[in-house]
Structure 1
């Protein structure tokens, strides 16, 4: 979408957008085929960052923004979610790193 918005308004035609999207897909395919263990690297990034963005940061920001207005139930629930998110991120990151190391040996 960002690249589509960079096109001048008179060039934002359906055919140009299809060509731009096709070029992006083909370039992504070429990068994925040229980088060894691309799937394992993506699993590493996903396991680490997905847990951070979807579970840990929202709860931490909620608790930071509403410091004095949260009930102890909300604190307990957010703390539980943060702990589970950190544990899952650690397990996923360890699993991905061990798969990458096994692929190199």
Structure 2
């Protein structure tokens, strides 16, 4: 979308340029996926780290920081529980991805 925003809106072939940009991005992803031997494992490592961080941990931390004095005990306990679950799931996912990468490198 960022690349498509660089195209002037009054350009008559902006739809055609959008198709070329998206096709180029898909093809470059395909080339990288085929050329990097552990691309799927690296993506699972990144996903296990960043997905839990962005979806579970950071929203609760921001909520607790922004509403520091207005948070009830129940809300704080729920946020701490969600943060703990996110950290545990992230640790297990990261360990699993790293162990698969090491196993692939050895064998």
> TM range, normalised to the smaller chain?
over 0.9
Q: Residue in 1 aligned with 2:8?
A: 8
Distance 1:35 1:70, change over 3 A: same
Q: Which residue of 1 aligns with 2:100?
A: 99
Asked if the contact 1:56–1:82 (Cα under 8 Å) also holds between the matched residues in 2, the reply is yes
Aligned to 2:76: 75
Contact kept, 8 Å, 1:4 with 1:12, in 2: the verdict is no
Q: What secondary structure sits across from 1:8 in the alignment? A: coil
Runs of 4+ with deviation above 4 angstroms: none
Report deviation, 1:13.
2.2
Unaligned residue ranges in structure 2 (runs of 5+): none
The equivalent residue for 2:63 is: 62
Structure-2 separation of matches of 1:13 and 1:64: 43
For the residues of structure 2 that align with 1:17 and 1:53, how far apart are their CA atoms? 29
Report the CA distance between 1:15 and its aligned residue.
Answer: 1.7
The answer for the alignment partner of 2:54 in structure 1 is: 53
| Separation in 1, partners of 2:46, 2:66 | 28
1:94–1:13 Cα change, 3 Å: same
Structure 1 unaligned regions, length at least 5:
none
How far off is 1:46 after superposition?
A: 0.1
